[in-house]
Structure 1
Amino acid sequence: MQKPPRLTADAALFLDFDGTLVDIAETPEAIHVPPALVALLGDLHDLLGGALAVVSGRQIDVIDRFLAPLRLPAAGEHGVQRRDADGRMQEQRALDLTLVLDAANELARVHEGLLVERKHAAIALHYRLAPQLEAVCRDAMARVIGDQPQFELMHGKFVFEVKPAGINKGVAIDAFMHEAPFAGRMPVFAGDDTTDESGFAIVQPRGGVAIKVGSGPSRALCRLDSPRAVFEWLVAARDLLASPGHNDSPRKPE
């Protein structure tokens, strides 16, 4: 894999949150968001004419809290929620997750180190503090949803998540790309997890840039080593876009 090309003024920039913009922490609430990152994202949003969106497994209100005072275009819960550039919210109807929540809570009661996260339309079972329980978590979540087609079990970094089937980050990015100010631009998406692969599958066939953050196999053609490397790449992009004579044509990976 190669380093991503420089960001140009006609890019549509999509950014995952955990593991891409910020380092993953032991619990979802323990992350650290540097003030410089918030300022940087605000600058890039302006320089790209509003064509910057956060695409995350988090809920949008949680993203807003961590990035306050910014309220960027965003997709939350892997696309279950989406807020467009005009601030309009779209949200998929939540399924009945009672049995899933009960099973996850019971597992967390029995096994120390598990954390249950209740979202609008999904249940996430985190096992970062108990990685030896991966198979136990997977089997329990798979068993509770059985063969019900309306549910999908998704595996991310130290988390299993039950969510509505057929919704993913790629679908969310595709929706953004049909709307102003994203439409007609070159899509660029950076993400670190297996849940970001659906986004990579959308941007690269459009002539865009997919950036895998960190180690591991990926369909993305570009790579950055860490959230720190992402930050430095974005700083360089901001500085270039803010300088005179930046309106060059986009450059694709060679």
Structure 2
Amino acid sequence: MHTPPLLTPRHALFLDFDGTLADLAAQPHAIHVLPEVPQGLQALHAALHGALAIVTGRTMADIDRYLCPLRLPVACEHGAQYRLGNGRAGSLPAPPLAPLLDVLRPLVAQHPDLLVEVKSAGVALHYRRAPHLQALCLQAMHDALHQAPGMELLQGKCVLEAKPAGPSKGRAIADFMRQPPFAGRVPLFIGDDVTDEAGFTAVQALGGVGIKVGDGPTQAQARLGSPAEVRAWLRLAAQALAQQAPALAGECHP
């Protein structure tokens, strides 16, 4: 396992959100985004000429709210929604979620420490406040998926998500890398969860580097210990890019 590479102007940077930019919390709405995060992302986005995107299971509304006033390129809900830097956006048709909710909501009513999060293209069942209910949650989600053809299970850290079959963080990154300003660059992707493994595989297939946050087995070639280390690495990356900019300008304009 290597240390993360130095960020250069030839890179494209992809970032997960929860557990990467922001520390995990007991419930999704309870996270706290430090003021330095949107400020740092704004500087990096400018230094990379727009080749920075958030790749997350969160909804687009969540990301825009937490990173306000930034409106970065983003792939949300594991690639079911996206927004490119040129303003182009798209999403999968919204699948019927009622059959899933009919199964999951009675479980949450019985166990208040569980949380059902309804997204535009899927449903997530969070059990971080009740990890002892993992087996029960998994069975309920399997039962729910029997009522929802075309949906698949995605397991993360204390969360089970029913999402449309097909989209993934890896596919989203590969799609971004075919579009300017990402095309022709070397991709880096930083993420913390098993849901990020497809992203690590995608960037490394394109000659880039996956960077795993925290412990655990991974396909990523590099590792950072915590979201705090990610934020420190991003600060150093912004400083390094700022120092490289005058040199590059000098090369272009002798």
TM value normalised by structure 2: 0.95
The yes-or-no answer on 1:167 pairing with 2:167 is yes
Name the counterpart of 2:252: none
Q: State the 1:35 CA deviation.
A: 0.8
Superposed displacement of residue 246, structure 1: 7.4
- Name the residue aligned to 1:143: 143
Partner of 2:97 in structure 1? 97
Residue 240 of structure 2 aligns with an amino acid whose one-letter code is L
Please show how residues 39-118 of structure 1 align to structure 2 within 5 Å: 39-118=39-118
Pairs aligned (count): 248
Equivalent position amino acid for 1:81 in 2: Q
Match of 1:251 in 2: none
Identity %, equivalent residues: 52
TM-score (norm 1): 0.95
Which deviates more, 238-247 or 26-35?
238-247
Asked whether the equivalents of residues 100 and 148 of structure 2 are also in contact (C-alpha less than 8 Å), the reply is no
Show the counterpart of 2:120.
120
Runs of 5+ unmatched residues, structure 2: 249-254
Deviations 1:162-199 (A, max 9, x none): 01001110011011000000000000000000000000
Query: How far did residue 112 of structure 1 move?
Result: 2.8
2:199 corresponds in structure 1 to 199
Say if 1:53 and 1:75, in contact at 8 Å, map to a contact too: yes
* Aligned-residue offset at 1:245: 6.0
Moved over 3 A (4+): 244-248
Instruction: Note if contact 1:9-1:246 (Cα within 8 Å) is conserved in structure 2.
Output: no
Deviation digits for residues 189-238 of structure 1 (CA, Å, limit 9, x no counterpart):
00000000000110012110100000110000100000000011111110
Give the residue type in structure 2 aligned to 1:190: I
Q: What letter corresponds to residue 143 of structure 2 in structure 1?
A: R
- 51-60 or 238-247: which moved more? 238-247
**Would you say 1:6 and 2:6 are equivalent positions?**
yes
Distance 2:101 2:107 in 1: 10
Residue type matched to 2:155 in 1? H
Question: Please, which runs of 5 or more residues in structure 1 have no aligned partner?
Answer: 249-254
Higher relative contact order (CA 8 A, sep 6+): 1
Does the 8 Å CA contact 1:82/1:89 hold for their aligned counterparts?
yes
Equivalent position SS for 1:63? helix
TM-superposed deviation, 1:34: 0.8
Partner of 1:233: 233
Corresponding position of 1:29? 29
What is the aligned partner in structure 1 of residue 251 from structure 2? none
User: Equivalents in 2 of 1:153, 1:44: separation in Å?
Assistant: 34
Residue of structure 2 in register with 1:19 after alignment? 19
Q: What RMSD over aligned residues (CA atoms) do the two structures have, in Å?
A: 1.4
For the residue of structure 1 that corresponds to 2:21, the secondary structure is coil
CA distance in 1, matches of 2:122, 2:81: 11
- Provide the residue aligned with 1:217 in structure 2: 217
